[in-house]
Amino acid sequence: MLLCSGDSEHVNATFDLMVWAPIATITSRKDSCQLTDLAHSKSESLPGSPLVNLQTALDRYFPQQPQDTEHPFYAGALGHFGYDLGRRFERLPNHAKDDYSTPAMAVGLYSKAIIRYKQSGAYYLVGYQQSDLDCAGEWEARAQQQTQPLSPFRLTSAWQSNMQKSDYLQRFAQVKDYLTAGDCYQVNLAQRFESRYQGDEYDAFLRLHQVNNAPFSAFIRLPESSILSVSPERFLQVEQGKVETKPIKGTRRHHHHHDKDSAEIADLRASQKDRAENLMIVDLLRNDLSKTCLPGSVQVPSLFAVETFPAVHHLVSTVTGQLAPPNTGLNLLQGAFPGGSITGAPKVRAMEIIDELEPHRRNIYCGSIGYVAHHGHMDTNICIRTLLCEQQKVYCWAGGGVVIDSVGDNEYQETLDKVNKILPVLEQGCE
């Protein structure tokens, strides 16, 4: 598993984190959760919340705290928390088709990692105890070896959406009916693109990351699938008990032309619709953070900032808080999951409508990828601009928040703008 900020100039792009050879794994499928101890080749089913089980496992495998906290990670958990993990925390309908083999949650427990710091270019091998650092010689030897070239990733069919434009506009109209009836203030509606492929998924990730250069990118290789994320959005970060989330709402196309982009940014800043949409999610996240943060500590230090990425300009706000003991980052994650910026508000009703109107479940899309260190640090992304590869099929999603004054054609075009640095990149070499 690799968490990668690459060469992004984004303020949050500070380091890369790579892990391998987990000592245990925890997966969640439907109503079951399984812990597999790889060192002792045994597995057990665990009742209750997958995130509570993950915290219990962290405490069991890593009871000792590090001597210092110079690095964000020494040992702990890293993996993905799919959107449909939210079904373990809320009662939701089952209309959308679930045609995936990838678990709703797949997390490894790791006793060592490699960290690359962007500013200095330095690499650090870190670990839970001294014996975990004995692999340094092995890595030096690997660095001297010539690696085998990756098998080129190539699509073997054209991208197909699970919604034609007419289907999208019909579902858009149904969302507007729900908004008019007062069911919701905002609903995120997404379409799924699908293609067949051959070759190495990591080759696809490298190509996508080069073009998108996103600060919250990730590559995960699981037994049954691979996940490729070039996400621009942070979900939840915890450092020494301080919480930060940075919801994105509001999008304009990035033309890479000074005058056109200046006009797009000015329009985005002035848009009452986008500001209102962003504020709805800020309020939702303030409420979500308040479940586990100290009373009065939840603040909004930045509202409606414009951040520019290779494909789009986004309206980004920042919400902060201070965890209330004895809450942990995983308590925070469960209380806020999935992220409000990709559901709508109120969250549960929006998720019900999403399940009704989207033909397929989301799996990893709009879930989170990140790490939970044994000394309390945590950082996770929102899995937008994220692809799932399994059974020689690749899936990619794009969506947007629909509010009462949204225009269907504009919202549909926005979904295409969000993947215009993804789908065409992988089409190169398509048979």
The torsion region of residue 199 among left (phi > 0), alpha (psi -120 to 50) and beta comes to: left
- No. of helices (H) and no. of strands (E), the chain: 10, 24
Cα separations (Å) of 274 from 28, 58, 252, 261, 423?
Answer: 36, 40, 10, 17, 25
Mean pLDDT, the chain, whole residue set? 93
Q: Which of 194, 201, 246, 249 is catalytic?
A: 249
Q: Lowest-confidence range among 186-195, 251-260, 368-377? A: 251-260
Answer yes or no: is pLDDT of 84 > 70: yes
Phi then psi for residue 326, to 5 deg, are: -95, 25
Exposure on the CB side of residue 21, measured as CA atoms within 13 A: 8
User: How would DSSP label each residue in 338-376?
Assistant: SPGGGTEESHHHHHHHHHHHSSB--TTTTSEEEEEETTS
Predicted confidence (pLDDT) per residue in 130-145, tens digit: 999 987 677 777 666 6
Per-residue CA distances from 379 to 72, 78, 272, 409 (Å): 9, 10, 31, 35
2 vs 18: CA distance, rounded Å: 4
Q: Which pLDDT does position 430 carry in this prediction?
A: 58
pLDDT value for 146: 59
Q: How far are the Cα atoms of 87, 208, 348, 370, 415 from residue 212, in angstroms, in the given order?
A: 31, 6, 32, 19, 16
User: Residue 327 burial (CB < 10 Å; 0-12/13-18/19+)?
Assistant: middle
Asked if 249 is an active-site residue, the reply is yes
Q: What is the pLDDT averaged over residues 60-85?
A: 93
Range 165-186 average pLDDT: 97
Euclidean distance between CA atoms 132 and 374, whole angstroms: 15
What is the mean predicted confidence (pLDDT) over 76-84?
A: 98
Question: Per-residue pLDDT for 431 more than 60?
Answer: no
Closest by CA to 247, choosing from 212, 283, 273, is 283
Residues 114 and 127: their CA atoms lie apart, in Å, by 9
Catalytic residue among 233, 264, 277, 414: 233
- How many alpha carbons fall within 13 Å on the CB side of residue 313? 21
Q: What does the alpha-carbon distance between residue 290 and residue 124 come to, in Å, rounded to a whole number?
A: 36
Asked whether the beta carbons of 348 and 50 are under 8 A apart, the reply is no
Q: Could you tell me the pTM of the whole model? A: 0.94
| Cα 322 from chain centre | 22
pLDDT of residue 301: 97
* DSSP codes of every residue in 364-420: TTTSEEEEEETTS-EEEE---SEEEEETTEEEEEEEEEE-TT--HHHHHHHHHHHTT
CA-to-CA distance for 331 and 323, rounded, in angstroms?
A: 10
Given a cut of 60, is residue 52 above it in pLDDT? yes
CA distances from 134 to 16, 75, 129, 192, 263 (A): 21, 15, 10, 45, 55
Q: What is the pLDDT of residue 11?
A: 80
What is the structure's pLDDT at 30? 87
Q: Over range 7-25, report the average pLDDT.
A: 88
**Stronger pLDDT, 167 or 69, i.e. the higher one:** 167
What is the predicted pLDDT for the residue at 389? 98
Distance CA 384, CA 422 (A): 11
**Tens digits of residue pLDDT in 215-230:** 999 999 999 999 999 9
In 96-198, alpha helices (H): 136-144, 165-181
pLDDT digits (tens, 9 = 90+) for 333-386: 999 999 999 999 999 999 999 999 999 999 999 999 999 999 999 999 999 999
Structural tokens at position 78: 């890293």
Task: Give the pLDDT of residue 311.
Answer: 75
